[in-house]
């Protein structure tokens, strides 16, 4: 199986990239995008071989997206309530099913009790092949 080609939006210092790496899913982050220059310096240090684009996602053209030829998007948006509503609407309009999770890192053995929001999406024609710990695996859309 070919590794997934992943685009990382709102990449910050690379937390989602690191989580993907730890998941052992065969994947390559083809580009990371964030406007924060300090975060980008840390990201570049953590992942020196990943293409890093210092821009807003609104500044990316459709042609740039097409050239990246990605299979999956990872993101950790800074304004989650607004982004979540817009994201869910877009996901549904594009024919995806999704599952949302609020997980505490402590449930994964990480000593931080702040809840984190996760969303997994897949085309409706294919079943979701995974579920988060402590959930029933039923899509919430």
Q: Say if residue 70 is in the same domain as residue 119.
A: no
Q: What is the CA radius of gyration of the chain?
A: 15
Look at 28-37, 63-72, 78-87 and tell me which has the smallest mean pLDDT: 78-87
Residue 18: CB partners within 8 Å, gap ≥ 6?
46
Measure the CA–CA gap between 77 and 87, rounded to whole angstroms: 10
In a domain, 139, yes or no: no
Among the ranges given (65-69, 82-86, 92-96), the one the predictor scored with the smallest mean pLDDT? 82-86
Task: Judge whether 85 and 114 are in contact, CB under 8 Å.
Answer: no
* pLDDT higher than threshold 80 for residue 76: no
Beta strands in the chain (DSSP E): 4-9, 27-33, 52-53, 72-75, 96-103, 116-123
Number of domains in the chain: 2
- Counting residues of the chain whose pLDDT is more than 90, the rounded percentage is 33
- Residues tagged active-site: 79
pLDDT at 139 over 50: no
**pLDDT tens per residue, range 44-53:** 999 999 999 9
Q: Are residues 89 and 64 in the same domain?
A: no
Model pTM? 0.60
Q: Are residues 90 and 71 in the same domain?
A: no
Rounded to an integer, the average pLDDT of 76-96 is 74
Residue 104 domain-assigned (yes or no): yes
Please determine, for residue 132, whether its predicted confidence score (pLDDT) is greater than 70: no
Angle between helices 15-23 and 37-46 (to 10 degrees): 30
> Structural domain of residue 107, as residue ranges?
82-128
């Amino acid at each position: 199986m070919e590794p997934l080609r992943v685009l990382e939006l709102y990449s910050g210092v690379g937390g989602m990239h690191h989580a993907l790496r730890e998941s052992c899913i065969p994947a390559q982050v083809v580009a990371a995008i964030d406007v924060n220059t300090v975060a980008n310096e840390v990201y570049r240090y953590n992942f020196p071989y990943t293409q890093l684009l210092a821009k807003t996602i609104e500044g990316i053209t459709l042609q740039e997206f097409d050239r990246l030829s990605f299979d999956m998007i990872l993101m950790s948006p800074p304004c989650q309530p607004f982004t979540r509503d817009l994201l869910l609407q877009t996901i549904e309009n594009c024919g995806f099913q999704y599952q949302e999770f609020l997980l505490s890192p402590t449930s994964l053995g990480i000593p931080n009790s702040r809840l984190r929001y996760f969303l997994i999406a897949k085309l409706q024609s294919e079943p979701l092949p995974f579920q988060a710990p402590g959930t029933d695996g039923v899509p919430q859309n």
